[in-house]
Structure 1
């Protein structure tokens, strides 16, 4: 593991820690009640709509992450390019959304999103398009890509314009010896020193080259302003510290319940093919990094192969994509 940066205490005491939030004013924001009549429901999801363009995009975040992790995508597809409208939100169990005590699954989390799309008037009560000319584009990363697969199956055929699955899997495929596999799974839940945690998550999510690049986020348009951290690693780790200091948004219960949903996600080869056909020929894209340490590259290849020749495939010589 390389590119160890500032310690947790140094991240917090750095002047940039006061300026972590991007300035991305939403067109609409609020709570949507979802899961009426379903296990654990009803409960509320926090959402934001950015932009007023005709091309609608739903962004589905991964395990333990907030909607704010889509900051650059929100800026591009919600502020600086007026042909788009972007919907970002916190999944159940994270951020400003509720954290119901029940079993989470990627299929139920997909239904949460379908309910949300009804609330924001992108879909009718029967989950068909409110405006047939405005099909919906869905992007899901990591666990969000698993939820996106379920959404592609659940919504009526013809609802989605495109489905973009990033750094995700149709199901877990073990690529290391069994005991090492168990160790990797257990490490997610073993309490560790915060500095070890920060080094570990940065190492799993990003390449060493990216982590070592000088931070410029404070200077970016719609960015947080203020001074910069020494490196990208320190900027990301500071965001993780800020999240972990949020006792209401980032909870052990919410994280574990989301992790269970991701770990139990399973789509057979037949289900993957049926999903792609249901969404539509040539409307599903898959992207994966070759040395992804979170969800290994073979999972992206598996998803690509099982979708078949109609898939739009992007291979990146990099680690997990942010």
Structure 2
């Protein structure tokens, strides 16, 4: 995109230009799941409502990816590709659309992170990764399935992951909380906070909406860099289908910059009126905004899961959930115990799973390896 010294937010390309790029139709990868379904959940909790889920891979190590506010399960596509396709013999990856998004239902009711955690737990029981009634006081998991779950949650997904760990701590092999918070707190002045909240409800053009999300999620320095995403190859990678919409196009393409790839993904999501709705977004926003785990509850999570099994990751340039939130989460969960793993990254934004893909995968593999060893298993 040219010299980084000359680049500003205003020099980034408009959404209309990105839509015309040949790579646009290839932005969302067609990764064929090993298993998938729509599960009715929440009977007696305001449901039933259907949750869309997928499992990629057939390996013995079970990874549970929980996505954040206003995002679909396909936002994990880099992790799904790496763990569930390129390393399908080692890992099984479960990802789902939280209620309100994607192919899951959008019930008009009060959402909470604890209820969304219960949705996920029902899915985990349905696919056989938990006992049939995991929240029953008389439930006992099969010894071979105890502490078998590696839970990775980002942003609001990290809040849901906290609730999962609070409900089923004995099933967690590792708990990985990315760019998240125990509770959303005001780290600005009162009037700045009021303006930020008001802006979320003000109708915006598609251009302004995507640009605003970009500024909160990633640093400009990453956006202007060349798009070097590792693309799936339908010819060599198992269960990777060619891009949609063209019988002639049999490969995935690069954009000019990371920003263009981000915009393409956002546009494909936001222009899908069935899978991304304003009501679903606002209901999830309420859940995230009202999430609250007290220091006492977090200490309970840490003690029941085990601090040596917990990772908290945060970037100092995170503008969506600012770094002081991460610092408090580390403090509350760590309790001064160095066994907890705190990863603070200078200059990193809100989405390390996209911004620093290879590094992130390496960190997760190390965490997974440690959890498996603690449980007397080894990664194949």
Common fold: TM-score over 0.5:
yes
- Is this contact kept in 1: 2:233–2:252, CA < 8 A? no
- 1:99-248 to 2 correspondences below 5 Å: 99-127=106-134, 131-134=142-145, 135-155=148-168, 157-217=169-229, 219-221=231-233, 225-248=251-274
| 3-state DSSP of counterpart to 2:342 | strand
Question: How many residues were matched structurally?
Answer: 320
- Aligned residue number for residue 288 of structure 2: 262
Q: Quote the Cα distance in structure 2 between the aligned partners of 1:179 and 1:108.
A: 32
Q: Quote the Cα distance in structure 1 between the aligned partners of 2:283 and 2:99.
A: 9
- Aligned residue number for residue 84 of structure 1: 91
Equivalent of 2:63, from 57, 64, 67? 57
| 3-state DSSP of counterpart to 1:133 | helix
- Aligned residue number for residue 309 of structure 2: 283
Q: Quote the Cα distance in structure 2 between the aligned partners of 1:228 and 1:107.
A: 39
- 1:32-71 to 2 correspondences below 5 Å: 32-39=39-46, 41-71=47-77
Residues 33 and 217 of structure 1: CA distance in aligned 2, closer, same or farther (over 3 Å): same
CA offset digits 1:170-195 (Å, max 9, x no partner): 01221110110111122222111221
* Alignment gaps of 5+ in structure 1: none
Mean alpha-carbon deviation: is it higher for 89-98 or for 186-195?
186-195
- Aligned residue number for residue 349 of structure 2: 319
- Is this contact kept in 2: 1:45–1:90, CA < 8 A? yes
Give yes or no for the alignment of 1:31 onto 2:57: no
Mean alpha-carbon deviation: is it higher for 60-69 or for 308-317?
308-317
Superposition deviation, residue 4 in structure 1:
4.3
Q: Quote the Cα distance in structure 2 between the aligned partners of 1:266 and 1:21.
A: 33
Structure possessing the higher radius of gyration over alpha carbons: 2
| 3-state DSSP of counterpart to 1:257 | helix
- 1:287-306 to 2 correspondences below 5 Å: 287-306=313-332
TM-score (norm 1): 0.95
Q: Quote the Cα distance in structure 2 between the aligned partners of 1:172 and 1:29.
A: 33
Superposition deviation, residue 75 in structure 1:
1.3
TM-score (norm 2): 0.81
Q: Quote the Cα distance in structure 1 between the aligned partners of 2:93 and 2:73.
A: 11
Superposition deviation, residue 229 in structure 1:
2.0
| 3-state DSSP of counterpart to 1:230 | coil
Superposition deviation, residue 125 in structure 1:
2.1
| 3-state DSSP of counterpart to 1:30 | strand
